[in-house]
Amino acid sequence: MMKPYAKSCEQNQAVILDVIKPLLANSQTVLEIGSGTGQHAVYFSQEIPHLYWQTSDCVEHHEGIQQWIDDVYNEKLLAPIALNVGKNRWPAHCYNTIFTANTLHIMSHKDVLALFAQLPTSLQEKGQFIVYGPFNYHGHYTSQSNERFDEWLHSRDPDSGIKDFEWLNELAGQAGLKLTEDYTMPANNRILCWQKV
């Protein structure tokens, strides 16, 4: 299998790092949901070397993620675990931070519900949930390109699509988390950060 590569990761990883590095200063352990190619995991764990970074995704992505991991020497960057948030049993470990990029718009509403419902169990006290991606606000797209992207997502999979910030924030509240940050990012993306209170 050829090592997977996503140009988008190379384009967004530095700007994401600028935001998440200070947020992760007091974290020791991170669970990444939907590691995809594995590029973000390699980059962030190299740039924030005190972290134990647990990669995860559906099994079909594991070989590619492992190839990226094998190309760096970092014993704190951990081999992927099988985690489809709505289907698999979550790891028993409790993390300081759960991070995910560009996944909530791929997931169905049911999977997003399952993810938020798991946060109280999988996050430590004061743990945080950090999410990068596009979101809608007050029922509106934040750009025409996001609207076109959402149409394309629906045509591929009617259960997927850009999620409403207000819905996610309500789910976070039900899970005992409070919004601490909402950062504007390039290309009409955001970084949302919730903390367990």
33 interacts with ligand SAM by CB under 6 A: yes
Contact with ligand SAM (CB under 6 A) among 30, 57, 146, 163: 57
Residue nearest to ligand SAM (CB): 36
Using DSSP's 3-state secondary structure scheme, residue 48 falls into coil
Of the candidates 91, 92, 93, 41, which has an alpha carbon nearest to the alpha carbon of residue 68?
Answer: 41
Q: Kindly tell me the sign of the dihedral angle through the C-alpha atoms of 59, 64, 70, 73.
A: negative
What is the amino acid identity at position 63?
A: E
Rounded to the nearest 5°, which phi and psi values hold at 158? -60, -20
Over the window 63 to 102, marking each residue x when it contacts ligand SAM by CB under 6 A and - when it does not, the resulting string is: --------------------xxxx--------------xx
Question: Smallest distance, Å, CB 91 to ligand SAM?
Answer: 13
106 interacts with ligand SAM by CB under 6 A: yes
> How far is 143 from 145, CA to CA, in rounded Å?
5
Contact with ligand SAM (CB under 6 A) among 19, 23, 31, 34: 34
Question: Smallest distance, Å, CB 12 to ligand SAM?
Answer: 7
> How far is 142 from 144, CA to CA, in rounded Å?
7
Helix, strand, coil percent values for the chain (each to nearest 5): 40, 30, 35
Question: Smallest distance, Å, CB 141 to ligand SAM?
Answer: 18
9 interacts with ligand SAM by CB under 6 A: yes
Size of the site for ligand SAM (CB under 6 A): 21
185 interacts with ligand SAM by CB under 6 A: no
Range list of H helices, the chain: 7-23, 39-47, 62-70, 109-122, 144-156, 165-174
58 interacts with ligand SAM by CB under 6 A: yes
Task: Report the interface residues with ligand SAM, using CB under 6 A.
Answer: 6, 8-9, 33-36, 40, 57-58, 61, 83-86, 101-103, 106-107, 111
